[in-house]
Amino acid sequence: MATGTAPGKVILFGEHAVVYGRPAIAVPVDGVEACATVRPGEQGSGIWLECCNLPAAEKGREGCYYPIREAPPGDPLCVVVTIGLTHMGMVTPPEPDLIITISSTIPIARGLGSGAAVATAIIRALATYLDYPLSPEETSRLVFEVEKIFHGTPSGIDNTVIAYQQPVYYVRGEPVELLKVSNPFHLVIADSGVASATREVVREVRQHWEVERVRYEALFDGIAAVVRAARESILKGEWRALGPLMNENQALLEELGVSAPALERLLTAARSAGALGAKLSGAGQGGFVIALVEEENIISVSKALERAGATQVLSTCVSSYPTSGSREEEKG
Ligand code: MEV
């Protein structure tokens, strides 16, 4: 059996502006992950998907155990499997006999990269099972193909940070920069409980940009300046400087029109409880907020966020560490 995993992610700085060619910084989130396993099926059975432990909205169709040949066209999990197998030279028919099991603890529609992580885990598990060496760059590219089908006009940052599993400084169309975090730092990550569809929010921003191009371009430039300053601070190990930059980025996101009262309530609670800075993360209008905290304040800020209505609170330590996300057990 072969296993592939992938972490969640948060955008630390630069969401939305990154779609318009500005830089952004994203980091993986430990403690939540997508996991896929591939094992041989009975001869002649074809490919079966088992996704009983996947949040409902990520499931491909009604039911949670089905052969891909019976899945409706456009079934997201089948799209991932087909893109992965085709890249690895397994053009079907004949369909290989495989059972692919998928699970995930990453909350969906909250900006934590659930879809990209599920796709990455499946592609990694298939590559390990088939002994097909797959670089993070190739993994990222394949997952980007999937993202383009389901998320409209993605910048590519989600697939990049998840496939590399390291903090990234990302500019669309440029080689990815793995960001050296000279001094690790802590984030508290809290769910507003409000679902948000990235595709819709990105579309709304584009509609506003079309009408008010000069103002939106200036806002994106403002965000880009914050992102560049944040990159410098991270490289120098001056992580406390990120707090005011997060607040500045949040103010610009509010001007873009992607914040929401439920998010701002959480941000106020986090800052009052001692967070050095806080902002929404991802598309906005719902989803998660992130707060920069001293290690000794993780618990007090988490509790304040819960009291302010957060439905789930996680924390993560941001550092540079390479991990592979694949492993092989008793391959048959
Ligand atoms: C989504 O995680 C971040 C956005 O900037 C969209 C994108 O980059 O594709 C809102």
DSSP state letters, 225-248: HHHHHHHHHHHHT-GGGHHHHHHH
User: Where is the domain boundary, 145, 178, 211?
Assistant: 178
Domain membership flag for residue 285: yes
Task: Please indicate, yes or no, whether residues 118 and 259 belong to a single structural domain of this protein.
Answer: no
Whole-number Å distance, alpha carbon 16 to ligand 1 midpoint, is: 6
Whole-number Å distance, alpha carbon 144 to ligand 1 midpoint, is: 12
Whole-number Å distance, alpha carbon 319 to ligand 1 midpoint, is: 22
Task: Assess whether the C-beta atom of 283 lies below 6 angstroms from ligand 1.
Answer: yes
Ranges of the chain with pLDDT below 50? 59, 324, 329-332
Domain membership flag for residue 326: no
Catalytic residue IDs: 158
Task: Assess whether the C-beta atom of 181 lies below 6 angstroms from ligand 1.
Answer: no
Instruction: Give the count of beta carbons closer than 10 Å to the beta carbon of residue 56.
Output: 9
pLDDT at 74: 86
218 is in which domain, residue-wise?
185-318
Domain membership flag for residue 332: no
Domain membership flag for residue 323: no
Going along 14-124, which residue ranges are E strands? Answer: 24-40, 47-53, 65-67, 98-104
E strand or H helix that includes residue 179: none
pLDDT tens, position by position, 212-237: 999 999 999 999 999 999 999 999 99
Task: Assess whether the C-beta atom of 198 lies below 6 angstroms from ligand 1.
Answer: yes
Atom of ligand 1 nearest to the CA of 201: 10
Instruction: Give the count of beta carbons closer than 10 Å to the beta carbon of residue 208.
Output: 15
Closest to 256 measured CA to CA, from 291, 198, 204 = 204
Task: Please indicate, yes or no, whether residues 229 and 280 belong to a single structural domain of this protein.
Answer: yes
Whole-number Å distance, alpha carbon 185 to ligand 1 midpoint, is: 23
Task: Assess whether the C-beta atom of 111 lies below 6 angstroms from ligand 1.
Answer: yes
Q: Give Cβ neighbours of residue 153 (< 8 Å, ≥ 6 apart).
A: 19, 202, 206
Atom of ligand 1 nearest to the CA of 202: 10
Task: Please indicate, yes or no, whether residues 158 and 224 belong to a single structural domain of this protein.
Answer: no
User: Where is the domain boundary, 154, 178, 202?
Assistant: 178
Cβ atoms of residues 1 and 99 within 8 Å: no
What is the sign of the dihedral through the CA atoms of 92, 118, 9 and 145?
A: positive
pLDDT at 212: 98
User: Where is the domain boundary, 146, 178, 210?
Assistant: 178
Domain membership flag for residue 292: yes
pLDDT tens, position by position, 38-63: 999 999 999 999 987 776 555 455 56
Count of domains for the chain: 2
Atom of ligand 1 nearest to the CA of 283: 10
Residue 42's CATH number: 3.30.230.10
What is the sign of the dihedral through the CA atoms of 20, 22, 23 and 29?
A: negative
Q: Which two tokens stand for residue 39?
A: 């094992």
Atom of ligand 1 nearest to the CA of 157: 8
Question: Candidates 189, 202, 279: which one to mutate for ligand 1, based on the most atoms within 8 Å of Cβ?
Answer: 202
Domain membership flag for residue 17: yes
Task: Assess whether the C-beta atom of 202 lies below 6 angstroms from ligand 1.
Answer: yes
